[in-house]
Amino acid sequence: MSDLLLSLSTSPLARRLVTSAKLPIPMPEKLARPSGPAVERFLEGTTALVAGDGALGSVLAHVLPRAGAKTLVASDALARVFAGPCEAFGRPLHMLAESDAQRTDKAHALVFDATRVTSPAELKRLYTFFHAYLPRLARCGRVLVLGRPAESANTLAQAAAYNALEGFSRSLAKEIGGKGATANLIIVAEGAEPRAAAVLRFFLSSASAFVSAQPLRVSAQAQWNGADAWERPLAGKVALVTGAARGIGAATAHSLAAEGAQVVCLDRPEDDEPLSQVARDIGGSVLLADVSASDSAASIAAQLKKTHGGVDIVVHNAGVTRDRTLARMQESGWDQALGINLEAVVRITEALLDGTLRDQGRIVSLSSIAGIAGNMGQTNYAASKSGVIGLTRHLARQLATRGITVNAVAPGFIETRMTAAVPMVVREAGRRLSALGQGGLPEDVARAITFLSLPGSAGVTGQILRVCGGALIGA
């Protein structure tokens, strides 16, 4: 399962030799990932460059100084917005000058607020800013573009400009991925600006190391009580994670527990030993159940109600693959993939909605880029994961008045026991078919799930967040 090229690239000598010889060998950058739970000053010692006089200046001013970043702004209007927060948190505020483009010190983040662009001509400001300052972007740095939904535009020209931001950010992600840097677009609906703070923190932090080339929408659709703690945000919450014995499920259980949640770890009875070990490691509890059994949903809901009085976070992670081309696929392979990956999600969710999932709750389901783009030999798996997307979008509308958000995470190539079993050539292709030139880790998916589980992420619902390193396939 070891990525030979990633290991090789950690050697400065190897990188110099490959570069100087101009060999066509990718040298992926080792990604900076978090080593523990969220901390308030996660940008301590870093620099952020901010441009664009949009509607999110005050939100950026709330996040960047408090997180510890030194901020350089490109306009007097931004300077006025940032002045108070920078002073309050003892962070220096500077104006960007033309000479700053030639500086050799690196910036962790380049942020452009394009929420007030009105025409394609105004997109030239994106070019001017990034053309000048992109060379200063640090390895494993962050590029964020902030926009509005195209459907909210007042004119044809504005709609075109808003939608252009997606093509721009996706393409830029491909250009900077070789240095381990990411670029993403945050689309914020009018009235949802305060809800963008938690989203900004996730995308600016190392928790989003394997999320790139993605647009994410922030809306005021779901009711929100304003909760948005920066540290231990899940304290007092009960979380259910299915398929928690290993891989992404185990990583998710660890991540949720680190942020304060009491985690109920669920898996098959035959996985009792590894599941119990995960639960012991995080101070959680064990719930043994076969999710494919017709009576499991009711028993899971009853157990959660009896032991914890209900549940706040539900992570549908349990899943299987039964890959075969359709002509060669056995009926049992179809039934197992659809039964575990989709039908069980529907049954368990319906059971929990009947008085077990509390208001302001969170539902996060595992989809896949195969469910978005399709994949040869995976008609069953892709159908099930695409079904999860439909379920997510439908439930988000249905549960918004209760303050419950419903989202899905769609992993790309992740280094798991499952991908370790595929042929080496296929495995290597999967790793390289991303802007970051490598596979992700279970922890990358777990961090995205945790982000979507936070009280402060109330603005994100009905969304499919790809954790794929900016994969070159799919949407």
| Tens of pLDDT, residue by residue, the chain (475 residues) | 576 666 656 666 655 665 565 555 566 899 999 999 999 999 999 999 999 989 999 999 999 999 999 999 999 999 999 999 999 999 989 999 888 778 888 999 999 999 999 999 999 999 999 999 999 999 999 999 999 999 999 999 999 999 999 999 999 999 999 999 999 999 999 999 999 999 999 999 999 999 999 999 999 999 999 999 999 999 999 999 999 999 999 999 999 999 999 999 999 999 999 999 999 999 999 999 999 999 999 999 999 999 999 999 999 999 998 989 999 999 999 999 999 999 999 999 999 999 999 999 999 999 999 999 988 899 999 999 999 999 999 999 999 999 999 999 999 999 877 666 666 667 777 788 899 999 999 999 999 999 999 999 999 999 999 999 999 876 5
Whether the Cβ atoms of residue 464 and residue 449 lie closer than 8 Å to each other:
no
Residue 401: which of 155, 154, 216, 222 has the closest Cα? 222
Q: Which domains does the chain have, with CATH numbers?
A: 39-218 (3.40.50.720), 238-467 (3.40.50.720)
Rounded CA-CA distance 371/390 in Å is 10
d(CA 94, CA 79): 8
Backbone angles phi, psi at 458, to 5 degrees: -60, -20
Helices (H), 309-441: 331-338, 344-352, 369-373, 379-399, 417-420, 424-432
- Tell me how long the chain is: 475
Q: What is the C-alpha separation between 22 and 397, in angstroms, rounded?
A: 52
CA-to-CA distance for 44 and 59, rounded, in angstroms?
18
Contacts of 317 (CB under 8 A, 6+ apart): 241, 242, 243, 244, 248, 249, 252, 366, 449
- Rounded Cα distance between 356 and 125, Å, is 50
Q: For residue 162, indicate whether it is catalytic.
A: no
Against a cut of 0.85, is the pTM above it?
yes
Distance CA 74, CA 91 (A): 17
φ, ψ for residue 471 (rounded to 5)?
-55, 145
Catalytic residue among 127, 133, 162, 381: 381
Beta-carbon contacts of 13 under 8 Å, excluding residues fewer than 6 positions away, are: none
Map residue 450 onto helix, strand or coil: helix
Distance CA 34, CA 190 (A): 32
Query: CA 105 to CA 170: how far, in whole Å?
Result: 26
